[in-house]
C-alpha cells in the first residue's frame, strides 16, 4: 500500500513538472520543471524495481541533457519580449491533432512491420542466474519486446531537440 501511494505521489509530481514545463513562460523555470519531471520519473522507476533505468534517468537526462538545456537557455538570455505568447485556437489544436494522428499512424505501421514479442514473453524467457540484474537481460528486453517504445522515445527526444532549437532562435522582424 505504501508503495502504491509513493508511486502515485511521484507520478503526480512528474506530471505536474511536465505541465509546468509547458505552461511556464520563463525558460529557466521551464527547464527546472523538466528536471523535476525527470527526477519524479526516476523515483517511479526505483519504486517499480528498475534501479538501473532510474539511475540512468537521473544521470543522463536530469544530470546531463537538462543541465545542458539550462546552460543554453541561460547563455541565450531571452528577454520577456522575445518569448511569444501561447498560440490559441487552430494554431494550438491543429499541431496537437496532427501529432496525435502521426503517432497513431506510425505506431500502427511499426506494429505491422515489426513482429515483436509481447513483454510477458520476454519476462519468461530463460536467462542464466549469473546474468540477473546485469545489462544483457536489459538489452535483450529493450531490443525485443520494448523495441517499439524505445524507438518512440528516440523520436520524442529528436522532436524535443528540434523544439528547443526553434525556441532559442531569435525572430527577425519581417
Segment 107-131, tens digit of pLDDT? 777 766 666 556 666 566 665 544 5
Grid coordinates belonging to 149: 517504445
Note the pLDDT of residue 135. 67
**What is the rounded CA–CA span in Å between residue 150 and residue 133?**
20
Q: pTM of the full predicted structure?
A: 0.51
Point out the least confidently predicted range of 21-35, 117-131, 158-172: 117-131
* 87 three-class SS: coil
**What is the rounded CA–CA span in Å between residue 13 and residue 128?**
37
Point out the least confidently predicted range of 65-69, 76-80, 128-132, 144-148: 128-132
Confidence at 9, pLDDT banded by 50, 70, 90: very high
DSSP assigned state of 143: T
Grid coordinates belonging to 26: 520563463
Would you say how long the chain is, in residues?
Answer: 174
Q: Are 168 and 73 in contact (CB under 8 A)?
A: yes
Cα 65 to Cα 34, 69, 78, 154: the distances in Å are 10, 6, 20, 14
How large a percentage of the chain has pLDDT more than 90?
Answer: 7
Note the pLDDT of residue 40. 92
**What is the rounded CA–CA span in Å between residue 158 and residue 17?**
20
Report angle CA 5, 10, 13 to the nearest 5 degrees: 125
Q: Which residues contact 23 (CB under 8 A, 6 or more apart)?
A: none
Could you give the domains of the chain?
1-83 (1.20.120.1200)
Amino acid at each position: 500500500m505504501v508503495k502504491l501511494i509513493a508511486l502515485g505521489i511521484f507520478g503526480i509530481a512528474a506530471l505536474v513538472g511536465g505541465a509546468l514545463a509547458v505552461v511556464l513562460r520563463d525558460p529557466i523555470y521551464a527547464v527546472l520543471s523538466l528536471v523535476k519531471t525527470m527526477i519524479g520519473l526516476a523515483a517511479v522507476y526505483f519504486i517499480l524495481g528498475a534501479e538501473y533505468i532510474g539511475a540512468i534517468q537521473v544521470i543522463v537526462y536530469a544530470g546531463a541533457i537538462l543541465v545542458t538545456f539550462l546552460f543554453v537557455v541561460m547563455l541565450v538570455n531571452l528577454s520577456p519580449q522575445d518569448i511569444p505568447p501561447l498560440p490559441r485556437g487552430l494554431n494550438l489544436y491543429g499541431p496537437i491533432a496532427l501529432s496525435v494522428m502521426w503517432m497513431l499512424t506510425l505506431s500502427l505501421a511499426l506494429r505491422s512491420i515489426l513482429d515483436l514479442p509481447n513483454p510477458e514473453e520476454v519476462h519468461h524467457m530463460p536467462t542464466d542466474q549469473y546474468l540477473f540484474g546485469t545489462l544483457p537481460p536489459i538489452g535483450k528486453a529493450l531490443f525485443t519486446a520494448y523495441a517499439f517504445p524505445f524507438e518512440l522515445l528516440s523520436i520524442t527526444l529528436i522532436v524535443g531537440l528540434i523544439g528547443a532549437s526553434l525556441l532559442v532562435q531569435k525572430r527577425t522582424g519581417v
